[in-house]
């Protein structure tokens, strides 16, 4: 556990956004870790990933959420229970986190270092992101994440999706596949020639993802592994992102338009 703690410390140093909250804590001395997969409450909503780890009397980790409004702020909580449909969600808040703040691309990355009254890193927990930074009862639920289960996400994999290229790109997207199909439906990404594009792909199955169109971009993906692409948008046209398990169905479409004379670079 000490080695893993040192690895996390090194990885966290790469993230410029730091979130710290201090609460009362009854120490138990147990070291545990959990991973959450954030999915949209409504179709097309935000998605994300989170890793939280018990380190002595603290909970440490990181959260990455895509699909938020640029510059928006969002309340995030760890709660007891599991994600359920709207109207059926009744659960105790185990850990209230400070607001997540989205960058100009609508991507929020946060490092978490928390002292907590209850243990947030154990089975029977889920992570909720709300539409605004105020009290949960005053905001709609936008993204909910249950535990991954056996598919453990390595902290180094989560570090690879942000902020990195995503925070410096004109377009950054995370795509999550389940049984070879994109959660939330086919994603469409629109950019202009020369824009920097950052894509991250996670799958519950071992798979290979490829950006079609002669770009020569393909990577392996699977439980605990994230495929990451970062490239300049090519000449105008449509470029499909395909997964081997999905056959000939694209899981995302990159639409590249010509850059006009007045378009900024």
Of all residues in the chain, the percent with pLDDT exceeding 90 is 15
Q: What is the mean pLDDT of residues 106-135?
A: 84
Which pLDDT score, from 0 to 100, does residue 258 have? 93
DSSP 68: P
74 forms beta bridges with: 100
Provide the residue ranges of all domains of the chain, joining segments of one domain with +: 2-147, 169-257
Distance CA 148, CA 226 (A): 14
Which pLDDT score, from 0 to 100, does residue 75 have? 93
Please report, in angstroms and rounded to a whole number, the separation of the first and last CA atoms in the chain: 45
The pLDDT tens digits of the residues spanning 127-164 come to 999 999 988 888 899 999 887 654 455 554 554 444 44
In the predicted model, is pLDDT for residue 237 greater than 80? yes
Distance CA 221, CA 104 (A): 27
- Please tell me which residue, 55 or 152, carries the higher pLDDT value: 55
Which pLDDT score, from 0 to 100, does residue 30 have? 39
Look at 43-52, 177-186, 200-209 and tell me which has the smallest mean pLDDT: 43-52
Distance CA 18, CA 70 (A): 18
Q: Count how many Cα atoms sit within 13 Å of the Cα of residue 220 in the half-sphere of its side chain.
A: 4
Q: Is the pTM of this model over 0.75?
A: no
What is 2-147's CATH number, 2.70.98.60, 1.10.3720.10, 3.30.2310.20, 2.60.40.200?
2.60.40.200
CA dihedral (242, 244, 247, 253) in degrees, to 10, reads -10
Q: Count how many Cα atoms sit within 13 Å of the Cα of residue 66 in the half-sphere of its side chain.
A: 24
Residue (of 79, 62, 232, 224) closest to 144 by Cα position: 79
What is 169-257's CATH number, 1.10.340.30, 3.40.50.150, 2.60.120.430, 2.60.40.420?
2.60.40.420
Whether 2-147 shares its CATH topology with 169-257 is answered yes
Extract the runs of DSSP E, i.e. beta strands, from 116-224: 125-130, 141-147, 171-178, 181-182, 187-192, 196-203, 207-211, 217-221
């Amino acid at each position: 556990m000490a080695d893993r703690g040192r690895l996390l410390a090194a990885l966290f140093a790469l993230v410029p956004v730091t979130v710290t909250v201090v609460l009362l804590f009854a120490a138990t001395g147990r070291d545990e870790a959990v991973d959450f997969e954030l999915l949209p409450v409504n179709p097309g909503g935000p998605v994300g990933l989170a890793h939280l780890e018990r380190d002595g009397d603290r909970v440490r980790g990181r959260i990455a959420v895509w699909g938020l409004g640029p510059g928006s702020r969002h309340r995030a909580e760890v709660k007891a229970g599991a994600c359920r449909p709207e109207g059926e969600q009744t659960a105790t808040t185990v850990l209230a986190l400070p607001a997540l703040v989205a960058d100009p691309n609508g991507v929020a990355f946060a490092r978490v270092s928390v002292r907590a009254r209850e243990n947030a890193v154990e089975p029977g927990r889920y992570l909720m992101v709300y539409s605004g930074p105020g009290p949960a009862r005053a905001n709609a639920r936008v993204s909910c994440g249950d535990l991954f289960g056996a598919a453990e996400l390595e902290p180094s994999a989560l570090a690879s999706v942000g902020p990195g290229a995503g925070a410096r790109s004109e377009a950054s997207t995370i795509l999550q596949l389940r049984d070879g199909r994109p959660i939330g439906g086919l994603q469409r990404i629109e950019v202009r020639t020369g824009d920097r594009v950052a894509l991250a792909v996670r799958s519950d199955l071992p798979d290979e993802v490829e950006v079609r169109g002669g770009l020569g971009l393909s990577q392996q993906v699977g439980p605990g592994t994230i495929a990451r692409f970062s490239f300049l948008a090519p000449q105008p046209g449509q470029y499909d992102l395909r997964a081997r398990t999905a056959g000939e169905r694209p899981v995302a479409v990159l639409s590249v338009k010509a850059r006009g004379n007045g378009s900024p670079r």
